[in-house]
Chains A and B, each alone.
Chain A
Amino acid sequence: MTAADSLEPAIVTHGAGKSFGGDSILRDLDLVIERGTIVGVIGPSGCGKTTMIRMLTGISPATSGEVRVLGADPASFDSRTRTRIGYMPQIPVLYPHLSLWANLNFMASLYGVPLRHRRRRLRELQEFVALGDDRGKRLADCSGGMQRRLTLAATLVHGPELLFLDEPTAGIDPLLRDRFWERFRLLRDEGRTIVVSTQYVGESTMCDVVAVIVEGRLLTVAAPEQLRRSAFGGDVVHVTPERGWMTVAELQAVAELPYVASATRDDDRIRIVLRSIDDVGQLAAHFQDVDVAIGMIDTVPPTFDEVFVTLMRHAESRAAAVVA
């Protein structure tokens, strides 16, 4: 990596798109991904996540717009650039008749990993994906989860500086999934860039940046917290009145507070969106002033599933408005 390389973002796209036949799968993708970040790509099934990753790896280059990955056009990557990239496809793709070790060794050779350090490297990776005891086992005899873990190890075998991981944690148990993310963060801390698509929306919190794709369009790119705030218009807190209910006037008064974006009933609780979480003290003072006894103000943020669903609803509303 040259000095100029280190300054340049890992990925830059301007109006990039991908069409197959007459069908547009990705449209107007404007994206800048800085080096040393974990970028989560989320979106409903079939929205274009995999197409985007294949486009960025050069497997299926863009049909419109401009794409630069590690300073080069993916359509004409040279061998050196390819060596700097790691790609893990959505389905486990290794040889079923070969042992786990042989598969890993094959991938190491494919990327020219020197023989001198290879054995140590392969052992380390097998330990990382918790397959150290199964190195002689044939891939065909392994479970889907084991195959997925080995595929991830194979992707990391040459120490790429830019990783494209298409749903790497699908079918992996929660404990190992945590280890994966821990490893991703370590890789990020080493300065590597990771683009990871996931079906677990909750994993967005592990990312530095989240890109939401809906129907082939990039809906938003933001840090997880920003995403949450933009989904709900601020920070969400829950308040439970001790008497079990709140009058319409009392609810209206809360909604009209200058630091409150909205206040709505949520079963037996009141959901209040604050413009900033820092205003939670003022909110507590307000309930004291109006003599409404409340329990604790619950500041636990909504899950990313909720965030995702909310963002999707916003997108659908906007689309409906445009059509109308």
Chain B
Amino acid sequence: MRRVLQIAAFVRKETTDVAHQPRLLATLVIAPFLILLAFGLGYRKTASPYHAWFVAPDGSVFLDRVLADADQLGRYITISGTGTDSATARRLLAQGKVDVVVEFPDKPLETILGGHQAPIAVLHNRIDPIELTAIDFASRLAVDEVNAQILSGIVTAGQDVAQPLRQPFATATQLLDAASQAVGLGDSATAQQNLDELSTRMGQVEAGITASSALLEQFGRQAGAGTVADGATAVIGDVADVQRRLGDVRRAAVSGDPAESRRQMDQLHQALQAADTSFAHFTSVEAEVLVRPFVSQVTSITPTRGVVSDFYAPAAVMLLVQQFGVAFGSLSFVRERELGILEVFRAAPLGPTETVVGKYVGYTLVGGGVGAALMALVVLVLQTPMAGHWIDAVLALLLTLLASIGLGLAISLASPNDTQAVQFTMITLLASLFFSGFFLAVEQLTYPARALSWLLPSTFGNRLLRDTMLRGLRLDRGTLIALGGYAAVAFAVTWWGTRRRLAGDR
């Protein structure tokens, strides 16, 4: 009975102690929520456009293209100006009057024809690593776009060269039909005449396609348009096959074997159809499709809205729950030691179990209330989705809170005074911002930095709560067991430390 009374005493004391500090509760619940709300309302999904200055030689086709597409660039780039002088542009960048300077090469065609890639230089003054990555990424996309547009032009030109050959192809089919008919009638002279004409037409096609292919080879291969050039090569191969079959038909006609002549005629017909198909494919496929054969279609299988506050809200709740446990836990024993109450505990019939369990229950009640209030605000006011089960969310919160209280109490037992305990608490908060997956995914960290992540209860909590709220998944068993293990170890360490503290120098 005494043990129950002692546990209840600590529960009542810890809860009353916190409840008597309404400002502290407001700081713990209302203030973080308002910060999250302000963040959610104020955050722009797209970055503000960069002010860019373009440098290119007079009459540059690149510059014309950029100016023509200025409307499309507007989301990402605002054109502050253009010029031919690189030094002026760089001075503007150094003075912070523009964010980005894009320098197009002077003689790109010569460089490309010389077998080298022509660089488009992008200069900037940004220091934020995330912005650096964004600029690098955007530059690659822009250059890819330029490459694609050039390739598209080349392919269109190649197709335009080949387009007049459509007529010879159509005539070739008619000539073959006429030759077949003449063979059937035993009119070998007419058949031979038609076949000669057919051969001439195929020769025209071959010459035209070879010219188109050469054009594609010259520009396209170096720019990575192999697929397009391969299309022309396929047509050339098919035409050569037609010419070979034509020879076979002629030889069969000379032999005087009508059956063999028909068979060879059929095969020539098939070869001509194949050549016609590949020619039609080469000339009819959209240049845009040929140079950009794949396009990405991104679809999330999660029920999230893609709102930035949705992503951060569960982690913010977990971080605050962790900090509640760590902050109150870390000051617990330190304060009692500084107040001298530990001296009374040592003389009293009090064991570590009653002390630790009482504190855990007390802090869990208050911390659970804080967590529940934050969750309610996040879901009801910020409209963050709760795709999974509430019970899973509660379990994740509870285990994170218990582990955090344990961590806090362990800090309290290890700290010689409350200043140091507060410092440890702040270090835990700082570490949590970087290592718990709050901003950066834990998977982006390498060991041993990642090991540090798993010393923080919020790392487990973030993963579990995001999965539950945003993905609608059940709690990952491995993470759940690991968090439970963490809480159990923290309890054991705290119990052992409390036992030592109560024993004093006994």
A residues at B contact (CB < 8 Å): 57-61, 75, 79-80, 82-83, 85, 87, 89, 91, 93-98, 102, 105-107, 109-115, 138, 164
A93 in contact with B347 (CB, 8 Å): no
Residue of A nearest to B504 (CB): A59
Please judge, given known A-B contacts A58-B506, A75-B506, A93-B341, whether A110 and B347 are in contact too, CB under 8 Å: no
Q: Contact flags (1/0) for B332-361 with A, using CB distance below 8 Å?
A: 000000011101111111110000000000
Residue of A nearest to B3 (CB): A112
Kindly list chain A residues whose C-beta atoms are within 8 Å of the C-beta of B345. Answer: 110
Residue of B nearest to A151 (CB): B344
Kindly list chain B residues whose C-beta atoms are within 8 Å of the C-beta of A102. Answer: 12-13, 16
Cα(A267)–Cα(B2), bound, Å = 63
Residue of B nearest to A115 (CB): B5
Kindly list chain B residues whose C-beta atoms are within 8 Å of the C-beta of A83. Answer: 2, 349
Most buried by A among B17, B341, B345, B504: B341
A23 CB → nearest B CB, Å: 14
A82, A94, A98, A114: the one contacting B349 at CB < 8 Å is: A82
Please judge, given known A-B contacts A102-B16, A109-B6, A112-B6, whether A95 and B341 are in contact too, CB under 8 Å: yes
Cα(A106)–Cα(B355), bound, Å = 12
Asked if B21 lies at the interface with its beta carbon under 8 angstroms from chain A, I say yes
How many residue-residue contacts, CB under 8 A, span A and B? 87
Cα(A18)–Cα(B341), bound, Å = 22
Cα(A110)–Cα(B506), bound, Å = 21
Q: Give the number of chain B interface residues (Cβ < 8 Å).
A: 27
Asked if B20 lies at the interface with its beta carbon under 8 angstroms from chain A, I say yes
B13, B347, B506: the one contacting A95 at CB < 8 Å is: B13
Cα(A80)–Cα(B348), bound, Å = 10
Please judge, given known A-B contacts A93-B343, A98-B13, whether A82 and B506 are in contact too, CB under 8 Å: no
Please judge, given known A-B contacts A109-B5, A109-B8, whether A59 and B347 are in contact too, CB under 8 Å: yes
Cα(A157)–Cα(B322), bound, Å = 37
B2, B21, B347, B506: the one contacting A97 at CB < 8 Å is: B21
Kindly list chain B residues whose C-beta atoms are within 8 Å of the C-beta of A105. Answer: 9, 12
Cα(A75)–Cα(B343), bound, Å = 15
B341 in contact with A85 (CB, 8 Å): no
Kindly list chain B residues whose C-beta atoms are within 8 Å of the C-beta of A138. Answer: 20
Asked if B69 lies at the interface with its beta carbon under 8 angstroms from chain A, I say no
Kindly list chain B residues whose C-beta atoms are within 8 Å of the C-beta of A57. Answer: 346-347
B136 CB → nearest A CB, Å: 54
Please judge, given known A-B contacts A91-B340, A98-B17, whether A112 and B506 are in contact too, CB under 8 Å: no
Residue of A nearest to B5 (CB): A109
Cα(A98)–Cα(B336), bound, Å = 13
Kindly list chain A residues whose C-beta atoms are within 8 Å of the C-beta of B13. Answer: 95, 98, 102, 106
Cα(A79)–Cα(B345), bound, Å = 12
Residue of B nearest to A155 (CB): B344
Cα(A83)–Cα(B349), bound, Å = 6
A85 in contact with B339 (CB, 8 Å): no
Cα(A37)–Cα(B449), bound, Å = 65
Asked if B505 lies at the interface with its beta carbon under 8 angstroms from chain A, I say yes
Residue of A nearest to B20 (CB): A97
Kindly list chain A residues whose C-beta atoms are within 8 Å of the C-beta of B381. Answer: none
Kindly list chain B residues whose C-beta atoms are within 8 Å of the C-beta of A112. Answer: 1-2, 5-6, 349
Q: Contact flags (1/0) for B304-345 with A, using CB distance below 8 Å?
A: 000000000000000000000000000000000001110111
